[in-house]
Structure 1
C-alpha cells in the first residue's frame, strides 16, 4: 500500500500498530472492516449545553457526515472546548487561544486528513480557524446561524444592541423591573448567534470572504431548510480537498485578508474582528495591522444597514442578499482571483449575487455613514494603535478634547458610575484601564462604559470613552478600544490622571494625552504594576504569553516568526 494520505501512517504501519489502530476505531463503532485507505475527515465540534449559540451544531455534524460518507470518506467527530460568550467569565476571549490549541493538537495527534470545523458563537469562529491554519490540513468551516428575532411590545429586538438600550432605560427609571424581566424573556428566543451585526455575524461573514466558509451560509436563519444541503455538500467537498491537497495556506493569502478587511468596513462590523483577523493572519506570518485595515477603511464605507450601525436585523439582511450581495457590491475593490475552498475564485462565485433590497444593502454611492467605518488611531496615548467603530459613533464627538475621568479597573467603574456626585460633564472623556489582555486577563468586553446616570437624566446619550478593553460587536457609541500597549504594562494609559486633557481626531487618526513628556516620565517613575492573583494554570500561561491587541492577542509561542515555523510537524506513528 502506498502511503498517499496522512492517515495511512496509522493504518498501514509495518508493525502491529496498524492493526491496533484499526481495531480502536472498530471498537468505537466505525466500519473498519471495509476500510481500504479512504480519507479520514475530522469534525471539530464546539457543541455544548453551556453554549446556547452552538446547540444546533450536533445536527450540523450529522448532515456533514452524510456528505463525507457519500464521497467515500470516513467522518470522525471530536469535541473541542466551547466558548459561550454569554456565560464564560471573565471573557470567552481568554480561551480563544486555548480552543485553537485544542484544534491543532487534535489534528496533530490523530489520524486525520482533513477537517470540518463547526462553530457559531463569537470566539469559536476565529479560535477554530486559527487552530486549523496551524495544522494546515484541508479545512472547511461551517456555522449554525443567527437566532430568531424576539419581540417586545411590537418591537423586533436586536440581540445585545437593544439590551444595552433597555438597560439604560432601567437605570433612568423609564422602565421597571417587571418590564426588564419581560424583555429578557423576549430576548430568549431560541438557539443561535446574535441577530445583529455583532462579532458572530461579522466573523462568520468574513470567513465567507476569506474563502473558507460556503457563500451565503453565515446569515441563513438557524432553521433554514437550505442549511442541510449546504452542510452535506461541504462534507462531500472536504473529501475532494484532501485528494487535491488544498490547504488553508493555499486559500488564506494576503489578498484574501484584504478582501475580508474590505468586507468588514462595508458591514460596519464588530471591532473584535480587527483583533481576530490580525491573529488569524498572524498564524500564517501575514502582517495586516494597521496598514491593510487603514487602506480598506479609506476605500469602503459602511453599506450594510444592520444594527448596531444601522436599522435592520440579520434575517432582513439575509433576505436582502446577505454577504454574497455585499461582496458583489465591492467587486471593484476586491481581488476576485483569490481561491476559495471550492477550488473556484471568489469573483466567479459572487458574480450573480445581487442585492434585493437597496435600503438594507446600500450602493457604495449611498452609504449609511461616511468614511471610515472603522479607524485605527495612534498617538502618545496609543503608540501601537487603538480602534474606534466610526459607523456607530456620534459625528460631533469624532474631533473632541475633554478632561479625563479615570477608572482604574472595572469594579471601580461599576462602583462609581452612577454616583450622583461623580465629577463629570458631557465634555468629559471617560477612561477605563487595566482591562486589557494581561490586566484582567482576557480583555473582556467592558469598553462601552455606561453613560453616568446623572448625565443620562440630563439627556446625554454619548460621550468619548477610551479603554484597553474590547466591546461587544452589538455595542455602539464613541468608544475607543484596544489601546496598545495596555495599562498593565505601564503604558501612557496607566499614567493618565483625572483632569488631564485627552483629545481624539478620527479624521486625522490621532489620539493624544495633552501632557508633556517630562511629566509623563515623572509619573512613570511612580507607577507600580498590578500584581496578578493568577500564579498557575491556564490564566498564568495566558498572562505570560499573550501578545498585545495590535498583534491579535495571540500567544507568542503560537505565532510563527519565519517560514520554518510555519511547517506542521506530525507525530511519529508507533506504539503509544
Structure 2
C-alpha cells in the first residue's frame, strides 16, 4: 500500500514516512478492547474497603468521594459500579437466582422493572409520617411527590412507606410513648428492607427525634425533611401562636374573662394552615436542631409548609440523598460530639423547647456520643436568646423564616465566636461554618444582634438537690413579673423558699386546684407523671394558678414536676425531675405545706426537712407498697415501663442502645426462604 498524501503537500522526507495499513490498526484496536474488558472484569471483582470514620467525604455535590464495600455475590451494572450497594443483597443476587426473583417479583406488579431493580441504582426509602391521623405532618403526602422526583432525577429509585403516626395534640395518654415505638418500627423497617438510604419526613414534636434515633441506630445515609410550620395565626390584628395561645386562653377562661365560644375562637385562630406549630415549640425546635446537627439541608427547618420553597426543598432533599449514598455519608459521620455541641448552643439562641435535652440526649445515646445535662448547662446557659419568637418573644414562623431562619442565627453565632465547631460536616458535604457564613438577617426585630439580645444567659439550668437528682429550668421564658416576685430579693438573689401544693397527676390537680391552699408564693408540684408513672412523661407540669389569683393578675407560679411541659408553654417550670416519684424519687415524699428552696445560682432544689423525717416518710411509703401508679392499659405501655430509662437520660429503651451501626455490623438480614 502506498502513501496517500501527495508528495507536494508533505513536509517529511519519504524515508521518514512508514507505509500505513488500516488492517494493522484494526487488529491493534481489537487487542486493546479485549485488554480493557479483561481489566474491567478484574476491577469489578476487587473489594474496596470502607472507612467508617467518614473522613474526607463529599466536599462537592454530585461527586462521590466516599469509599464503600463491595463484598457481594455479584457486581451490578449502572450507578453504583465500584461499590456494591446494600440493596444488591436483595435485587442483584447471582448465588441464588430463586431468592433474587422472590425478592423482586412483587415490585414488578406496580410497574417497576427488573432492569431498574437490578441496575445497582440506589434504592431510597421515603419514611412517610403524614396521614389523616397525624394532621401536623399530613402535608408530607404532597411533599413526598417532590422528594420522589428528586430521587429519580438523581438516578435513584424511591420506595415510600408509612411510619408509626405521632400526633402530639391527639395521642393519649401522651405522644411520648410513640417516640420510642416509632423508633423501634423504623429501625426494623430500615434493616429488613433493601434500602441504601432514606429520606426521613419529619415535623410534629416526636417525629423528628424518633427519625434521628432510628437513623443513628441503622446508620445508612439519611436526611431529614421537615413538613414546615403553619402560617402565622392572627386574631383582631394580633399574632396568635399555635399551642402558646392555648395557655393564655385557658387562663382567661378560668378567670372568667372570656366565654367558651371566645375560647374556641382564640385557640383555633392559631392554626390557620397545614404544618406544625408556628411557634418555637418542640416541633420547630427539633427540626432546627436536625439542621444544626447537619442532618437536614441548610435553610430547610423554618420554611412554612405552604410556601413554594418547601416543595423546592423537598426536591433538593431527594436529589441530595442519592449523592449521600454514592458518597457513603452516614449519620455517624455527621452526628458527632462536635455536632451535638453546636446544637446545644443553637437551642439557647433560638429559645428552644425544654423537650430538646430529652430528645437530643436520646439521639446521642443511639449514635454512641456521650451527652448529659451538665453539657447543656455548661455549653448552653451563657448563650443569649437571639430569636424574638413565641413563647419567649412575640413573632411567629413566617416572620422568622423571612428574617433568615436558622442560617441567620448561626451566622451571628459564628461571627461572635460562639459556634463551637464550625468545622462539623453536614449532609450536603460541606461544613456547618461554610453553610452559614455571611447569611445574616435584615430583620433585627425578629433576630436580635448578638450584642443586643432578647436576654443574656438564656440557656437551661441543670438543677440537683434533695428533691431530685436532676431537673432542668428554661430561663428564657422567665417573665419580668416572675423575676420580680421570686428572684430579686437583694438578701437572697436568684433564690426563693416557698410552701408547696402537691398534686398526684392532672386529675388530682383539676379536682383540687381551686380548693388547695395556694397563695401568691406557693410552689405547685406535679408528680406521678413521668415515664413510669403516667406512663410516658406527660406534658402536664405547666399548671396555672387558681382562679382567685388569676383574677388578681397572678399568672406565673413556680411549678416543679417529674413530667414535661409543652414547648409552646412560657411557664417558668422546673421539669423532667429524675428519679420520678414512681421510681423512688423524693418527690414521692413531699406533702402539702412542706417548704422547698430553689437556688438558681447554686443549681439546687432542696426539700427543707430533716433527714430523719425523710427516712420516716420513706419507710411509711414503702410499707404501703411504694408510690402508686395506674396500671398499664395496653401491651406497649407495659413493655415501655419495663424497658424505659429516666428523662435525664433521654428516656430511651435501655436494651436498645446496645444496637449501633447496625448496617455495618449486620450488612444484610438472613434470607427469608
Q: TM-score, normalised by structure 1?
A: 0.96
Q: Is 1:112 matched up with 2:200?
A: no
Instruction: Compute the displacement of 1:533 (Å).
Output: 1.4
Instruction: Compute the displacement of 1:356 (Å).
Output: 1.4
Q: Is 1:288 matched up with 2:371?
A: yes
Q: How many Å separate the matches in 2 of 1:374 and 1:531?
A: 29
Contact 2:216-2:366 within 8 A present in 1 as well: yes
Q: Is 1:378 matched up with 2:472?
A: no
> Out of 405, 408, 412, which is 2:504 matched to?
408
Which residue does 1:2 correspond to in 2?
75
Partner SS for 1:368? coil
> Out of 197, 205, 211, which is 1:122 matched to?
205
Which residue does 1:464 correspond to in 2?
558
Alignment gaps of 5+ in structure 2? 1-73, 77-83, 488-494
Q: Is 1:304 matched up with 2:401?
A: no
Instruction: Compute the displacement of 1:90 (Å).
Output: 1.1
Q: How many Å separate the matches in 2 of 1:548 and 1:572?
A: 32
Partner SS for 1:407? strand
Instruction: Compute the displacement of 1:100 (Å).
Output: 0.7
Q: How many Å separate the matches in 1 of 2:271 and 2:412?
A: 34
Instruction: Compute the displacement of 1:571 (Å).
Output: 4.3
Partner SS for 2:173? coil
> Out of 143, 162, 167, which is 1:79 matched to?
162
Instruction: Compute the displacement of 1:229 (Å).
Output: 2.2
Give deviations 1:71-125, integer Å, cap 9, x for gaps: 1111000001110011111111111011111111000100110000001100001
Give deviations 1:182-230, integer Å, cap 9, x for gaps: 2244234122111110000000001111000112111111111112222
Q: How many Å separate the matches in 2 of 1:33 and 1:485?
A: 56
Matches within 5 A, 1:90-489: 90-331=173-414, 332-334=417-419, 335-383=421-469, 385-393=470-478, 394-396=482-484, 397-398=486-487, 399-419=495-515, 422-489=516-583
> Out of 526, 530, 538, which is 2:628 matched to?
530
Which residue does 1:58 correspond to in 2?
141
Instruction: Compute the displacement of 1:532 (Å).
Output: 4.0
Which residue does 1:495 correspond to in 2?
589
Alignment gaps of 5+ in structure 1? none
Q: How many Å separate the matches in 2 of 1:425 and 1:34?
A: 71
Q: How many Å separate the matches in 1 of 2:304 and 2:669?
A: 44
CA RMSD in angstroms comes to 1.6
Give deviations 1:129-172, integer Å, cap 9, x for gaps: 11111110000000111112232222221111122111111111
Q: How many residues align?
A: 572
Contact 1:134-1:568 within 8 A present in 2 as well: no
Q: Is 1:12 matched up with 2:92?
A: yes
Q: Is 1:544 matched up with 2:660?
A: no
Q: How many Å separate the matches in 2 of 1:566 and 1:400?
A: 52
Partner SS for 1:276? helix
Q: Is 1:42 matched up with 2:125?
A: yes
> Out of 509, 518, 524, which is 2:612 matched to?
518
Q: Is 1:27 matched up with 2:109?
A: yes
Q: How many Å separate the matches in 2 of 1:471 and 1:190?
A: 24
Partner SS for 1:72? coil
The 1:339/1:18 distance shift into structure 2, 3 A limit, reads same
Partner SS for 1:558? coil
Give deviations 1:281-326, integer Å, cap 9, x for gaps: 1112212212320122243111111111111111111111110000
Range 280-289 or range 107-116, more displaced: 280-289
Q: How many Å separate the matches in 2 of 1:291 and 1:537?
A: 35
Q: TM-score, normalised by structure 2?
A: 0.83
Q: How many Å separate the matches in 1 of 2:360 and 2:653?
A: 15
